[in-house]
Amino acid sequence: MNLSTAEEESSSSAQEIHIPADINWEMLDKSKFFILGAALFSGVSGALYPAVLMKTRQQVCHHSQGSCIRGAFTLVRHEGLRGLYRGFGTSLMGTIPARALYMTALEVTKSSVGSAAVGLGFTEGKASAAANAVGGLTAAMAAQLVWTPVDVVSQRLMVQGSSGLRCCDYVNGFDAFKKIVRADGVKGLYRGFGISILTYAPSNAVWWASYSVAQRMVWGGVGCYVCKKDGESGNAMKPDSKTVMAVQGVSAAIAGSVSALITMPLDTIKTRLQVLDGEDSNGKRGGQSIGQTGRNLVREGGWTACYRGLGPRCASMSMSATTMITTYEFLKRLSAKNHDGFYSKS
């Protein structure tokens, strides 16, 4: 599967553009891929964690707490910088296996679906978009088996100390794990699993498909104007590594912002289900449904309450998408068995 694009004009003035060919699952050195991936994505997670923490605290509060930046400064003033990394150790321990599962499902599915789509007669562009969408959907569903328990524990650690919240006090991630299981059983670790699937599976499908389409649009629109001429071909152009990373980053940021906006209400409800120890209408502890949680949220602050934390979430997802995709593409090139022939002629 290649992401190559070109001006489809028959005139002699039309120029060709050489861009990197996609590296599929069979081309990767798997051990290098997972070891380097764990190190690279741990660093990315650490850089983005404060934005995720502030987004989570805004989503679960029962009233507006002002801007996210003001909240972050208040938190640092009372707890120091470590307050912005509350629950990070727990999150990191779960993120490594979840990310490995995600990447495996993504690459295997993309490779299989892409080849099948081309075999069925789809154009390269449509086959690429379909492969990315199905790959993102499958990867998100697989990774939620690990990510949901990690989210439940780490998010409860994140919101400790927030005013007006009915949450237990936890010493660390292991203590939170024990108390949740003791109170609600193993199913307590999977609180919000259903809505997590409803949130992340379509979001990932939309994100990966949008990323594929956005890349083609960027290459077709402005890519040719910032490319270097290929010395071996009079009218062929070959982008340098900085151009490739810029196009990938811009495409990822666009896809991340769109996904954040579309899935924000579901993410807010999911976070509340996972964090708050509420009671349903019959007084049963922790028994609130998705509908009840949504109604309570709207009752508290109207429909705008569903978008609390939108700023930090958009920022987090855009930065995460940009750093993730550039890191991911870089990781694939580092892990490839053969570093030659990565540029394809469109």
Distance CA 142, CA 107 (A): 13
Distances (CA, A) of 273 to 122, 199, 200, 225, 342: 41, 13, 15, 49, 45
Helix, strand or coil, per DSSP, at residue 154: helix
Contact between 41 and 101 (Cβ < 8 Å): no
Does any domain span residue 23? no
Distance CA 94, CA 90 (A): 7
In terms of phi and psi (left: phi > 0; alpha: psi -120 to 50; beta: otherwise), the region of 41 is alpha
pLDDT at 284: 52
Which residue do the tokens 């594929």 mark?
Answer: 212
- Cα–Cα nearest to 248, from 327, 342, 326: 326
Does any domain span residue 47? yes
DSSP 28: B
pLDDT at 79: 84
DSSP 190: G
Identify the helix (H) or strand (E) that includes residue 261. Answer: helix 241-275
Q: What CATH number has the domain bearing residue 90? A: 1.50.40.10
Count: domains in the chain? 1
**How long is the chain?**
346
Does any domain span residue 80? yes
Does any domain span residue 15? no
Maximum Cα–Cα distance across the chain = 76
pLDDT at 4: 42
pLDDT at 264: 84
Helix, strand or coil, per DSSP, at residue 70: helix
Helix, strand or coil, per DSSP, at residue 14: coil
pLDDT at 259: 81
Beta-ladder partners of 16: 236
Does any domain span residue 61? yes
pLDDT at 308: 78
CA dihedral over 156, 35, 21, 224, signed as positive or negative: positive
Strand order in the sheet with 16-20: 228-229, 236-238, 16-20, 343-345
pTM: 0.69
What are the mean pLDDT values of the chain's consecutive 10-residue runs (346 residues total)?
A: 38 48 77 85 86 82 67 85 88 86 90 89 85 91 90 87 65 89 89 83 84 81 54 56 82 84 83 67 57 83 79 78 83 75 46
pLDDT at 12: 36
pLDDT at 3: 39
pLDDT at 5: 40
Does any domain span residue 184? yes
In the chain, % helix, strand, coil (3-state, to 5) comes to 70, 5, 25
Contact between 339 and 332 (Cβ < 8 Å): no
Does any domain span residue 25? no
Does any domain span residue 343? no
Residue span of the structural domain in which 204 resides = 30-230+237-335
